[in-house]
Structures are given as C-alpha cells and as structure tokens.
Structure 1
Amino acid sequence: MVLNELGARINTALQALSREAVIDERAVDALLREICGALLESDVNVRLVHTLRQNVKKRVDLDELAASSNKRKVVQSAVFDELCRLVDPGVQPWKPQRGKQNVVMFVGLQGSGKTTSCTKLAAYYKRKGLKVGLVCADTFRAGAFDQLKQNASRAHIPYYGSYTEPDPVRIAVDGVAQFRASKFDLIIVDTSGRHKQEAELFAEMEQIAAAIKPHNTIFVMDGTIGQAADAQARAFKQSADIGSIIITKMDGHAKGGGAISAVAATGSPIEFIGTGEHIHDLDAFSARSFVSKMLGLGDIGGLVETVKDMQLEKNEDMMKNLAKGVFTLKDMRDQLQSILKMGPLSKIMGMVPGMSPEMMQGFDADESTRRLRSYMCVFDSMTEAELNSDGKPFENESRLRRVARGSGVRPVEIQALLHQHRQFGQLVKKMGGPKGMLGKMNPAMMQQMAKNPAAAANPANMLKQMGGMGGMQKMIQQMGGMSGVQNMMKQMMGGGGGGGGMQEMMAQMMGGGGGGMQNMMAQMMGGRR
C-alpha cells in the first residue's frame, strides 16, 4: 500500500480525535499539528502543508457549528477533503479517444522508471481493448532499446526502435508513422531521461514534441525524489506541455509526498501511480480513492474497475448456476483464474475497505499466488465430470490420490481446497435457489437471467431486484453483521488452514455472477465509510 507510514499516522491522529470527550480548538489544533508533521516528514512541500492547515481551520469554525452537529464528522470530512486537494489540481487527465490515433510522449528524470512505465501503460490500455505500440526514442542511455524491447515482448506489445539511427527525433517520427500506417489506436513514445541542468537534452525533448505533435505529454516522477520534486517539475513544465503525471516507486515509500508536490508545481493531474515492478503495478489515479486507500479505507472504485476489466459477465454458466444456488468446482476454477489475471494479490487486498496495514501483516502475496497456481494444476488433473460436481466424488480416496499424483500436490492440500469450496458453496446456496435471495426476485428477472445472464448481471438491476439496500442489510445480518464480514476476511487472510481461502472468497464475492456479486461486496464493505 502506498505511503503506509503517512496513512497510519494520519489515521492515528483521527482516532485520537474520536476519543476526545469535547471537540474544541485544542483538540483540532492537536489533530492538525500531528497531520502536518506527518506530511512534512513525508516531504510534502511546506507551502502545501500550510495551505492545508489554513483551509481546515477555515472550514471548521467550531463557534458557528450548531450544538447538535457532529463536530467530529465535520473535522474528519474537512481533513479528508483537504488531503484530496493536495493531489488534485482540479483538471481532468487526458484519455485516449477510441476511433482515433492517439500519440503520447513520455518525459522525466533519468532513473525515474520511465521506460518501465511506458510498457505498463501500454499493457493497461491493451487490457482496455486498444491496439497499442511502443517507440523507443531514447538514444542517450545504453541499453534503453533493449530494455523496452524485452518489456514489450513479455507483454506481447509491438515496438519500434533502432540500434543504428543516432537521431532520436528521426526514430520518433519513423516509429509514429509506422504505427499510424498500421492503424494503431495508441502510440507511446519513450524519450531519454534528462535533468533540468541538461540544456541539450531539454532542447531535444522540445524537438521531438514539435515533430510528432503528441496529444499528451506524460511527466514521470520518481516517488522517492523528495523535496527536489518541486524544482524539477517546474523545469519540465517550462519546456514541455505536460498534460499528466505518473508517479513511480510508490509501493510503501515513506517519502512519496515530495512527488505529490509536483502536482502543484505543474498544475497537471496525476494520471497513474506505479506501485511495483510487475506489469500490473500501475494504478489509475483518483484523488479520493488514493487518500481513502492511504487511510486504510480501501478503494472500491478501483476494485470494481479491475474486476470489470476481466469481463466476468461473459461467464454465463456461472450466472445460471448462481441463480440455481449451485457452485461447482469448475465455477471455482474459473473464478480463481480470473483472480490470477487481476494482478498481484497484495494490490487487490489493498483495495478492500477495512484491510488496514495491520491486517495485511503476515500476508505473503507471493506464497498465496504460488498456492493459487498449484490449485490450477489440481483442477487440470480432474475429469470433466469431477469439475462439474460439488466435490462429492472426492469422498472416494482413490480419486483424491489420483488427482494428487497428477498435480504434484499433497492430498491434504486438495482436501483444504475442497473445504474452501464447500464453504462458498453454502454461501451460494443461501443466495440461489427458490428460497434464496435470488429466488425472491420477480419471475421476469429470473427469466431474463436465464436468457441473458450478461444483461442480468448489471449491478444496479441486481441490487434493485434484491430489495435495494434493505435487502443488502438482511444479507449482512445473515453473515453476522459488518463485524462478521470483516472477521471472515481476516480469517481468510490466514489461509484457513490450507491457505488460499481469501482468494476464493475474493473471486466469489467480487467476481461471481459477472458484476452483481462485486456490487454486493462494494455495498457490504463500503458501509465502513
């Protein structure tokens, strides 16, 4: 999770305010003193911190607040909004337009992660269905083209570059022309890393921009740069028409506030943040989601967007089974495959409301991913009849031993997998069938689900047919209330004995049914805020 230490300190300060018997000037000053100190230690520009303090003080006029008003809520809301303003200049980031050929140029400091970010962005829009190409116009750094070529090949993205052409402007022009001729939707041009004191490289950047006329210039800022971010961002802004910012290396770095200060320096919006080295470690940026995630409140919007990219609504068999209250081993396999495609598990968990850094301690994402992949081998070793069952065929130990030999997994691990399957099967049974929540939908809706599962999976329709928020509250009560839901999440984090249980729950609760269930997760867990 990004800026763990900063988020934890701000959270602690807000909790201390909640314990105050009386919310007066002294309590508010103590809160702001702690928050401002945390921001300064994270290298947020001192001018921005001062502005935040003043704005909160203006909004929280205790003398003007009515005696019946919830002063704690007013203060907390003001702090949250001002934290959002730190990273939101009020400008919408540029987005590529479908049906047009879009050109994007990357600029930034040497070593900021620019070339890696180019590939991540290309992969991001490829998942959105765009035809994307990469151009390496970095002739200054040795090995730059090799790095881009290697990254692009792993992500299966077309690329262009040259080992012999020394002119980066010529490479950029030729690469863009080649991808334009092939009708590519998005063309990303990587340029040399440069420092504000390198006048020649800055002139080169201007020449490339004039030659290819990019629709957007993305400034890549190293999240570890600290207070130097402000001066560097201003220098780039003067030489290039920066349209948006990508902040890299934000995976838990305590000093990431300096890069956030670049937003104020350029007046350009943050478009993405890089949170790791893997191809999926690039998160679309939203100010409110970023602050919410930093404070341990999760990011339901990002979570739903990630699930939406997987196009889970195409799994019509799953919707039909859900309506009947049936959850087969094949359904479980399909959902686990979807979870693996969503990216690192630590990233997904960081989006879940209530998953604080304390709860994440001891969670080994790499080990959980390894176990998840081993489960795929287990499913691959089953027959079609076994996959379409509820797991009862494996009460026969000879079948269990056969699958264990075929998958290279110990029988005890398969038994743990079957145990998790039974748990989620019981949940599905409560929801489906004539007596379940789905069974209480009107007949027209049920017929629609049978004929067109993808259309029926619309979250708004699903919530409406379940009786709105009242129906959701009943389901929460059946699961033991909000504390029951969060305890279930915490228990699953521990692996449930055999491990991997959390992933199954995430797949079933968020992805199952192609959208309806993900909306349930948003409603059940989102009530925390």
Structure 2
Amino acid sequence: MVLADLGRKLTTALRSLGNSPVINEDVLKKCLMDVQRALLEADVNIKLVKQLTDGVKKQIDLDNIGTGLNKRRVIQTAVYKELCRICDPGVKPWKPTKGRSSVIMFVGLQGSGKTTSCIKLAYHYQKKGWKTAVVCADTFRAGAYDQVKQNCTKARIPFYGSLTEPDPAAIAYDGVEIFKKEKFDIIIVDTSGRHKQEDSLFEEMLQVNNAVEPDNIIFVMDASIGQACESQAKAFKDQVDVGSVIITKLDSHAKGGGALSAIAATQSPIVFIGTGEHIDELEPFETTKFIRKLLNMGDIEGLIDKVNQLKLEDNEDLKKNLQKGRFTLRDMYEQFQNILKMGPFNQIMGMIPGFNDFMNKGHEQESTKRLRKLMCIMDSMSEEELDSPEGHKLFKNNDDGSRRLRRVARGSGSSPKEVFELIDQYQKFAQMVKKMGGMGLFKNGDLSKNMNMQQMNQINGHMAKMMDPRVLQQMGGMDGLKKMMQQFNQSDGSGRPGRGGMGGLGALGGLNFK
C-alpha cells in the first residue's frame, strides 16, 4: 500500500490517545513525538516535520477546549489537517481543455519511472475519452524508443519517435506538430532523464522546452531517493516552470516521505501517484483522500466512484434478474470481471476503512489469484450450469452432481473440493439476492433508498456469513460491516445521498469471497 509503514505508525501514534484515561499536555507531547518519529523515519524533511507539530500545537489548547468536545478527536483532526497542508501547496493543478491540443512535457531523474508514467497518463486520459499521443524525445537512454513503441502499441496509443535523429528538440517539435495537425487533445512529450549536476542535459531540457512550448511541465519524482528529492526538485524548478508532480514507486518503498518534502521545494501540486508497474496503476491524487487512506480512514466515496465508472446500470439482464431475486453463476462471473476492472486490489481495499493493514502485497496477490481461479472454474461449466437460476442444485444432486463436480474440476485443473466451495459461496450469495428481491429492495437496478434498519441488518447478516472471518475481524466485526454498508448506501461519490446500486453490492460482496 501507499506509504504503508508510515500510515501504520501514524495510526498507532494517534490510537495511543484512546489508551490514555486523561488527555493532558504530557499525553499530547508523547503523541506528537511519535508522529514526528514516524515522519522522520519516512524521510520527511525535518523542517516540514517541525512545521507540522508547531501547527498542531497552535490549533490545540487543552485547557480551553469546550466542554462536550472530544479532546482525542480534536487532536486527531489537527494532525489530519496539518498532514493535508504538507501535501497541498495551495496551487490548483493544470487541466487540459477540450477542443484544443495541449502539450505536456515530462522531466525527471534517470530511472524515476518517467517513460512509464508518460504512457500511464496517456492511457488514463484515453480511458476518459481524450485523444492522446506520446512523443519520445529521449535520445540519451538506450532502449527508450523501443519501450515507448512496445507499451504504446499494447495500449493502442499513437506515438512518434526516431532512431536516427540525434536532436531531441527536433524530434519533440516534429512529433508535436504532427499530432497537432491531426487534432489530438493531449500530446505527451517524454524527455531524457537528467541530474542536477549534468549541465549539458539541463541545457538540452531547455531546448526541448523552447521547441514545444508545453502547456504543463510534470516533474516525475522517485519516492525511493528519500531526502535527495527536495534538492533535485528545486534544481528542476529553477530551470523550467514545473507545474505538476507525479510521485512514483510509492508501492515498493516505505520511505516515501522525501517525495512529500519536495512539494515545498516546487510549490507544485501532486497530480498522480504511481502505485505499481502496470499501465492502470496510476492513481489521481487528492490530498484529503490520500491522507485519509494514509491514516487508515478509508475512501468510501472513491470506491463508489470506481463502481460507478463500470456503468453496471447498462446491464439490463442483470437488472431484471436482481429485481426478480435471481442470481446465476454467469451473473457472479460478470461481477468478478467487474471487480478486476476496478483496478489493483491494493487500491480497492485501501478505500475501505481499516483495510490498509490487512491488504498488504501478499494478501493482494492471494486475493487476485483466488478470483482468477474461481473464474477459471466457471469457464469449465456448461451453458446450462451458468444460466440456471438455481445452479447450485445441479451440483448437489447425488450422482449427477458428483459427475458435474469431477468434470468441472478436470476441465479447470482444480479439485472437486474447490469446485464445491465455489458452488457453496454462490449459493449463499444467490440466497441473499433472492431475499433482497423478495423485500423489493431493487428498484431500476439500484438499492431502494427507503431501506429500513431491519432490512439493513438482515443484509449485513447474510454478507457476514459470506466473508472470510479475517476480513470481518479487520472491519471491526458486524458493527464495522454495518457502518461501511451505511456509508456505501448513503453516498454517490459526490457527498449526496444516493446509490449503493446493484453493482456496488455485488462488487463489495465479491471482494470478500473466501
């Protein structure tokens, strides 16, 4: 997870407030020392750490906190606000405009993940309907053009580059002009990686900048270089007008705090964070959501946004089945597909309060592998088995059911026991959908907003039976599950009441299958 070690240490420091019978100056001082230690160990600049603790102290006057106010909550809120301030320079990030070609130039150190980030950003905008292209102006690193060619071809992103032209400014200019004539919305220019001590490469960066006159310059920052982030970021800012920052390698390095320090040096907003090597592992950065996840507070609204992006309401067959209380194995297969489309498991689970600690890299790989295994088992089933409204009965009818179990197990390279476990989980989920349909909770494919407390408790009980006990325990038992479902069904990602939705329930239920 993003800065997982720092998040755990900060959460532990704040949680210690709850173990103190009385909140006084000594308890506050110890809590802030723990917060300081956690930030310094994560390579956050010492000046920023001091600013944070000074800011917290200014906000808190224990003697004058009004009666009825929770002192623990006041301290936690103050730390949260100061962490947000560190990550937010108060500058609005640049945004492209429809109807005109926008040029984005990437700069950064060698090995910072700059080329990969170029293609990730092009793919991100492409998914949102923008016409994007990439220009490879990196003539310094061997293999840069081949990397761009291979990844852009795979993602179906147009690209331009040259293996014979030695002048990166000429390549950048020609590529931008070609894509402008073809009315591309976003043209991303990749440049050579450079170091503040390499004057010739910095001069080359200025030449590319003058040739393409970019609308936005993005500085790609490797979280793993620690305290050096700040001086490097300042060197780039002194040479070109850095307008945005992308932080990479936060998934693999616990000491990512140095990257946060560089925000003060560039006074530029973080726009994205790289959370993995795959093309879709680029997360839009929002300060409040980032800090909430860092402190293990979750991001329910972000999770709902992910679900809503799938446009599950367009699936008329599933809507009709849900309204009738029917749920087939094929419906479950499609829900598993939707979960995988939502993005890497570590991102999804990090959006659920309390799951930062649970979904480490091992659990993520285990869960993804488990889902794909279940889908492989269903790939070996017949049309009749997948589409039967009570598919579990076909596998549990004496000799015929045993033959089906063995056949599917052979076809999927699994054991009859694994097939039986899948059928058992499907049966529980189908029973829950049937009960919900009988209650009349699905309306136009969405959960009715008029769900009463008794109905909510019944649904929570069914979901608890389906979930891995470890997951349920991490959520805080039944109380945690109730709280999460209430949040999910009371928000549509914009803060307004609304829409858990048929896909939302299916995705959450599927995420926690054993």
TM-score w.r.t. length of structure 1 = 0.84
Shift of the 29–52 alpha-carbon distance from structure 1 to 2, 3 Å rule, reads same
1:214: Cα distance to partner?
1.7
Shift of the 431–217 alpha-carbon distance from structure 1 to 2, 3 Å rule, reads same
Residue of structure 2 in register with 1:370 after alignment: 369
From 501, 510, 513, give the equivalent of 1:516. 501
Residue of structure 2 in register with 1:500 after alignment: none
Indicate conservation of the 8 Å contact 1:106/1:191, yes or no: yes
Residue of structure 2 in register with 1:409 after alignment: 414
TM-score w.r.t. length of structure 2 = 0.87
Shift of the 367–32 alpha-carbon distance from structure 1 to 2, 3 Å rule, reads closer
Residue of structure 2 in register with 1:400 after alignment: 405
1:144: Cα distance to partner?
1.0
- SS of the residue corresponding to residue 224 of structure 1 reads helix
Higher mean C-alpha deviation, range 375-384 or range 106-115:
375-384
Question: What is the 5 A alignment of 1:422-433?
Answer: 422-433=427-438
- SS of the residue corresponding to residue 349 of structure 2 reads helix
| Matched letter for residue 402 of structure 1 | R
Is it true that 1:268 corresponds to 2:284 in the alignment?
no
- SS of the residue corresponding to residue 193 of structure 1 reads coil
1:249: Cα distance to partner?
0.6
CA distance in structure 2 between the aligned counterparts of 1:49 and 1:8, rounded to whole angstroms: 17
Shift of the 420–363 alpha-carbon distance from structure 1 to 2, 3 Å rule, reads farther
CA distance in structure 2 between the aligned counterparts of 1:253 and 1:236, rounded to whole angstroms: 23
Residue of structure 2 in register with 1:38 after alignment: 38
CA distance in structure 2 between the aligned counterparts of 1:69 and 1:109, rounded to whole angstroms: 48
| Matched letter for residue 303 of structure 2 | L
CA distance in structure 2 between the aligned counterparts of 1:163 and 1:316, rounded to whole angstroms: 50
What do the CA deviations read for 1:250-298 (whole angstroms, capped 9, x no partner)? 0152211000111111111101111221222211111111111112222
Is it true that 1:466 corresponds to 2:449 in the alignment?
yes
- SS of the residue corresponding to residue 153 of structure 1 reads helix
Shift of the 289–154 alpha-carbon distance from structure 1 to 2, 3 Å rule, reads same
Residue of structure 2 in register with 1:81 after alignment: 81
From 435, 438, 441, give the equivalent of 1:437. 441
1:521: Cα distance to partner?
9.6
Shift of the 33–486 alpha-carbon distance from structure 1 to 2, 3 Å rule, reads farther
CA distance in structure 2 between the aligned counterparts of 1:475 and 1:324, rounded to whole angstroms: 17
Residue of structure 1 in register with 2:383 after alignment: 384
CA distance in structure 1 between the aligned counterparts of 2:466 and 2:40, rounded to whole angstroms: 35
Question: What is the 5 A alignment of 1:138-177?
Answer: 138-177=138-177
What is the total number of aligned residue pairs between the two structures?
A: 483
Question: What is the 5 A alignment of 1:211-230?
Answer: 211-230=211-230
Residue of structure 2 in register with 1:478 after alignment: 458
Shift of the 163–48 alpha-carbon distance from structure 1 to 2, 3 Å rule, reads same
Shift of the 383–488 alpha-carbon distance from structure 1 to 2, 3 Å rule, reads closer
Indicate conservation of the 8 Å contact 1:429/1:436, yes or no: no
CA distance in structure 1 between the aligned counterparts of 2:317 and 2:506, rounded to whole angstroms: 21
1:523: Cα distance to partner?
12
1:491: Cα distance to partner?
4.2
Question: What is the 5 A alignment of 1:7-22?
Answer: 7-22=7-22
Indicate conservation of the 8 Å contact 2:429/2:466, yes or no: no
Residue of structure 1 in register with 2:189 after alignment: 189
Shift of the 248–490 alpha-carbon distance from structure 1 to 2, 3 Å rule, reads farther
CA distance in structure 2 between the aligned counterparts of 1:522 and 1:264, rounded to whole angstroms: 39
Is it true that 1:418 corresponds to 2:423 in the alignment?
yes
Shift of the 368–332 alpha-carbon distance from structure 1 to 2, 3 Å rule, reads same
1:394: Cα distance to partner?
2.5
1:490: Cα distance to partner?
4.5
Shift of the 476–292 alpha-carbon distance from structure 1 to 2, 3 Å rule, reads farther
What do the CA deviations read for 1:121-176 (whole angstroms, capped 9, x no partner)? 12222222222211110001111111222222232322211100111111111112
What do the CA deviations read for 1:412-466 (whole angstroms, capped 9, x no partner)? 2221111111121122223223x2433xxxxxxx4xx2xxx5xxx4xxxx5xx42
CA distance in structure 2 between the aligned counterparts of 1:489 and 1:215, rounded to whole angstroms: 49
CA distance in structure 1 between the aligned counterparts of 2:297 and 2:472, rounded to whole angstroms: 17
CA distance in structure 2 between the aligned counterparts of 1:128 and 1:360, rounded to whole angstroms: 28
Is it true that 1:54 corresponds to 2:54 in the alignment?
yes
Residue of structure 2 in register with 1:135 after alignment: 135
Shift of the 475–58 alpha-carbon distance from structure 1 to 2, 3 Å rule, reads farther
Higher mean C-alpha deviation, range 514-523 or range 15-24:
514-523
| Matched letter for residue 388 of structure 1 | D
Shift of the 237–202 alpha-carbon distance from structure 1 to 2, 3 Å rule, reads same
Residue of structure 2 in register with 1:497 after alignment: none
Structure 1 portions without partners, runs of 5+:
439-445, 495-505, 525-529
- SS of the residue corresponding to residue 271 of structure 1 reads strand
1:222: Cα distance to partner?
0.5
Is it true that 1:126 corresponds to 2:126 in the alignment?
yes
Indicate conservation of the 8 Å contact 1:312/1:515, yes or no: no
What do the CA deviations read for 1:30-51 (whole angstroms, capped 9, x no partner)? 1111101211121111111111
Shift of the 50–155 alpha-carbon distance from structure 1 to 2, 3 Å rule, reads same
Indicate conservation of the 8 Å contact 1:354/1:486, yes or no: no
CA distance in structure 2 between the aligned counterparts of 1:393 and 1:269, rounded to whole angstroms: 57
CA distance in structure 2 between the aligned counterparts of 1:64 and 1:514, rounded to whole angstroms: 41
Indicate conservation of the 8 Å contact 1:113/1:248, yes or no: yes
Structure 2 portions without partners, runs of 5+:
474-484, 493-497, 510-514
Residue of structure 2 in register with 1:442 after alignment: none
| Matched letter for residue 370 of structure 2 | R
Shift of the 215–312 alpha-carbon distance from structure 1 to 2, 3 Å rule, reads farther
Let me know the Cα RMSD of the aligned residues. Answer: 2.9
Shift of the 275–329 alpha-carbon distance from structure 1 to 2, 3 Å rule, reads same
CA distance in structure 2 between the aligned counterparts of 1:523 and 1:364, rounded to whole angstroms: 17
